[in-house]
C-alpha cells in the first residue's frame, strides 16, 4: 500500500500535450479540454483562456488528488486488454471519463465504452457537450441521468448549481433531513403548496445553499429524482477495467451493498472519499474482500512521501482486484 517509489517515473517516456487550444478552454497534459464557459462561476480571466498554442506538463505529486487521478488513468489503461470499459459515478461534466479515454489512446489504444452516471440535469446536458468537444461521441457511450444509491427508489436530491460538484443524496435523502423538510413546511405554512409541487412536479419548492460560506450562492432545489444502484449499472458488463467515483459521501451508501458484485466484475476502483470514518470503512471493506490497496490517504490531511509531499481535500482510495481475470473472449 502507498508504494510511491515505483511511481516516481510513471510519466517517463510520454509526451505531454502541446498544440492549439480553442478560446475559453484549458487543457491538461493528456489533451483533455475543459471549456470554462460550462462553469458559471469561473473565477479566472476568461479572456486569457485558449485561442493559442499551449505547452503542458504532467502533474506532480504536490498537486495531490490530480496526480492520483492521472496515475489511475494511466495504470488502468496499461493493464487493459482486448476492450476497455470505464465507469465514472458522479460524472459532473465528464472530466474523469475524458481523462481515462485520452490516457487509453496515449498508451494502449483499443475499443472502449464509457459509462457516465450524473443525476443533476444541468451537469448531464453539459457533460454531453464536453464529450463532443473532446472528440468522444456521447451516443456511443452509456450516459445515465440518475442518482446513485442503494436501491432504485426515488430520492430527494438538490437540483441546481451545475458544475459545483456539491450535490449528493446522502444527506438530503436521509430520514432526519426529510423530517427537517416537514418541520420547515409546517413552520412556513406552505404544506399545501409543497404537496402540490411534489405530486405534480416531483419538486418540493425548497432551496438549500450547497456551499455555505462561499462568495457565490450555489443553490439547489430539493426535488425527487430517479435513482439507480450499482446492481443495475454493473449488470450489463462481464468485466469493468476501471471504476471512478466522486459522490460527496454517497459512496458509503452506494458501494457496501454491492461489494460481492464489484468483486466479481471490477478490476480497479478509485474513490474520492469524504470524511475520515467513510474512508476507513471503505478501506476495511475492500481489505475484507481480498482487494489490494494501492493508495489509501485520508481526506483533509497532509502527507510526506518518498517522491514528494501533498495535501488532500477528498480522500484518495485506490484498490485493485488482484484475483479477477478478464474472460478470455474479452481479453482477445
The pLDDT score that the predictor gives to residue 329 is 72
What separation in angstroms does the CA of 332 have from each of 84, 105, 110, 114?
A: 12, 18, 11, 19
Residue 296's pLDDT is 97
- pTM passes above 0.85: yes
Q: Which residues in the chain show pLDDT less than 50? A: none
| C-alpha cell at position 127 | 457533460
* Predicted local distance difference test score (pLDDT) of residue 187: 84
For residue 302, what pLDDT is reported?
96
Q: Where in the chain is the domain with CATH 3.40.50.150?
A: 5-16+58-150+228-331
Q: Is 3 exposed, middle or buried (0-12, 13-18, 19+ CB in 10 A)?
A: exposed
User: According to CATH, what is the number of the domain 5-16+58-150+228-331?
Assistant: 3.40.50.150
- For helices 95-107 and 121-133, give the axis angle rounded to 10 degrees: 20
Amino acid at each position: 500500500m502507498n508504494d510511491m517509489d515505483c511511481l516516481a517515473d510513471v510519466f517517463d517516456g510520454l509526451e505531454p500535450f502541446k498544440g492549439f487550444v480553442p478560446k475559453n478552454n484549458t487543457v491538461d497534459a493528456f489533451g483533455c479540454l475543459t471549456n470554462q464557459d460550462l462553469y458559471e462561476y469561473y473565477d479566472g480571466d476568461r479572456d486569457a483562456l485558449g485561442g493559442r498554442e499551449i505547452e503542458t506538463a504532467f502533474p506532480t505529486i504536490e498537486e495531490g488528488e490530480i496526480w492520483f487521478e492521472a496515475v489511475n488513468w494511466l495504470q488502468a489503461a496499461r493493464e487493459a486488454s482486448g476492450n476497455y470499459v470505464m465507469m465514472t459515478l458522479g460524472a459532473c461534466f465528464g472530466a474523469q471519463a475524458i481523462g481515462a479515454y485520452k490516457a487509453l489512446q496515449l498508451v494502449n489504444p483499443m475499443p472502449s465504452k464509457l459509462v457516465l452516471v450524473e443525476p443533476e440535469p444541468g451537469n448531464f446536458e453539459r457533460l454531453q457537450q464536453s464529450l463532443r468537444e473532446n472528440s468522444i461521441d456521447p451516443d456511443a457511450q452509456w450516459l445515465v441521468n440518475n442518482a446513485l444509491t442503494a436501491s432504485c427508489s426515488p430520492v430527494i436530491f438538490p437540483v441546481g448549481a451545475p458544475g459545483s460538484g456539491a450535490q449528493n443524496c446522502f444527506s438530503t435523502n436521509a430520514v432526519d433531513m426529510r423530517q427537517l423538510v416537514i418541520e420547515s413546511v409546517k413552520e412556513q405554512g406552505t404544506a399545501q403548496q409543497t404537496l402540490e409541487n411534489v405530486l405534480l412536479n416531483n419538486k418540493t419548492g425548497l432551496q438549500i445553499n450547497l456551499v455555505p460560506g462561499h462568495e457565490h450562492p450555489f443553490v439547489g432545489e430539493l426535488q425527487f429524482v430517479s435513482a439507480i444502484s450499482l446492481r443495475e449499472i454493473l449488470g450489463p458488463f462481464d468485466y469493468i477495467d476501471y471504476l471512478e467515483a466522486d459522490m460527496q459521501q454517497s459512496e458509503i451508501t452506494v458501494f457496501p451493498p454491492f461489494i460481492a458484485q464489484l468483486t466479481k466484475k471490477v478490476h480497479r476502483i478509485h474513490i474520492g472519499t469524504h470524511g475520515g470514518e467513510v474512508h476507513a470503512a471503505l478501506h476495511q471493506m475492500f481489505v475484507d474482500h481480498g482487494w489490494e490497496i494501492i493508495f489509501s490517504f485520508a481526506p483533509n490531511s497532509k502527507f510526506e512521501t518518498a517522491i514528494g509531499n501533498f495535501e488532500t481535500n477528498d480522500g484518495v482510495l485506490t484498490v485493485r482486484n488482484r484475483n479477477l481475470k478478464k474472460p478470455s473472449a474479452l481479453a482477445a
